[in-house]
Amino acid sequence: MWVLLQSFVLIAFCFHSATTFPKGCYHAEENGYKTIRCSNAQLVEIPKDIPNDTRKLFLDFNHITFLPHDAFRNLPLLLELDLSHNAITRMEIGAFRGLLENLHSLDLSSNKLVSVNKDVFSNLKAKVNLSSNPWLCDCKLQELIGKVDLMVGSSGGIVCDSSAQEEHVGKPFLQLITDMDFCSVYKRTTDIAMLVTMFGWFAMVISYLVYYVRQNQEDARRHLEYLKSLPSKQRKSEESSTISTVV
């Protein structure tokens, strides 16, 4: 009877912890900080039942592909978030909303990020590791780098996997942007478009003016010829008035 009761309690306890705690995760106290480790837990998305007083969260070495908005909304005290070694390709704007003030370290290294909107990180104060992702090196990445506070020593790991210019592939992006501006290429083409449009308008105005002047000259000439064909008496007075109008 006692054994039966004991095993019942044990089963109930296991069931309880299974329902209130994410599968494959375990809880630890590290340097006095409540820590949840879900490393290598076959996760395909962010677990929904992380305790809201967690300070450090490890989700590395899983199969997470997508971060929806408000993915970490219930973790206002989180200091450290490790999402490295996943397959993240896409992060929605607002994915890190709710983590703004406390978070000081965000690891997104070794994922599948190609292109990320800079607004995903708006208001985030954390140091971010963006190394070892298949980055497309373009103006969008330059804007992102301008907005994000990179982890010290992690900048060399942002390497171009693709670029409009073949010679950039395999090069560290931060090294490239010391001597070129990926956004000015775009600015230059819009400047040229503006110049061409302005020139087009200018040419239209000029050709209209030329046409107008020519048309008037033609009219004046025809009028003079008409006057010449009139009897001379009337012609004199008419001619002087025409000349004054022409002049």
Q: How far is the CB of 178 from ligand NAG (least distance, A)?
A: 20
Q: How far is the CB of 14 from ligand NAG (least distance, A)?
A: 24
Cα separation, 103 vs 83, in Å, equals 13
Closest to ligand NAG by CB, 89 vs 154, is 154
- 132: Cα separation from own chain's centroid: 19
Q: Which residues bind ligand NAG (CB under 6 A)?
A: 52-53, 76-77, 84, 109-110, 129, 131-132, 151, 153-154, 157
Closest to ligand NAG by CB, 101 vs 191, is 101
Q: How far is the CB of 132 from ligand NAG (least distance, A)?
A: 5
Dihedral pair phi/psi, residue 245, rounded to 5°: -70, -40
* Bridge partners (DSSP) listed for residue 34: 29
Closest to ligand NAG by CB, 76 vs 165, is 76
Q: How far is the CB of 127 from ligand NAG (least distance, A)?
A: 8
**Please, is 123 exposed, middle or buried when counting C-beta atoms within 10 Å of its C-beta (0-12, 13-18, 19+)?**
exposed
Closest to ligand NAG by CB, 34 vs 147, is 34
Can you point out the beta strands (E) in the chain?
Answer: 26-30, 33-37, 56-58, 66-67, 80-82, 90-91, 105-107, 127-129, 135-137, 149-150, 160-163
Closest to ligand NAG by CB, 76 vs 172, is 76
At residue 133's C-alpha, the angle toward residues 37 and 59, to 5°, is 10
Closest to ligand NAG by CB, 27 vs 236, is 27
Cα separation, 136 vs 112, in Å, equals 11
**Please, is 108 exposed, middle or buried when counting C-beta atoms within 10 Å of its C-beta (0-12, 13-18, 19+)?**
buried
Closest residue to ligand NAG using C-beta atoms: 109
Secondary structure element (H or E) that encloses residue 187, with its range: helix 184-228
Q: How far is the CB of 63 from ligand NAG (least distance, A)?
A: 17
Q: How far is the CB of 113 from ligand NAG (least distance, A)?
A: 12
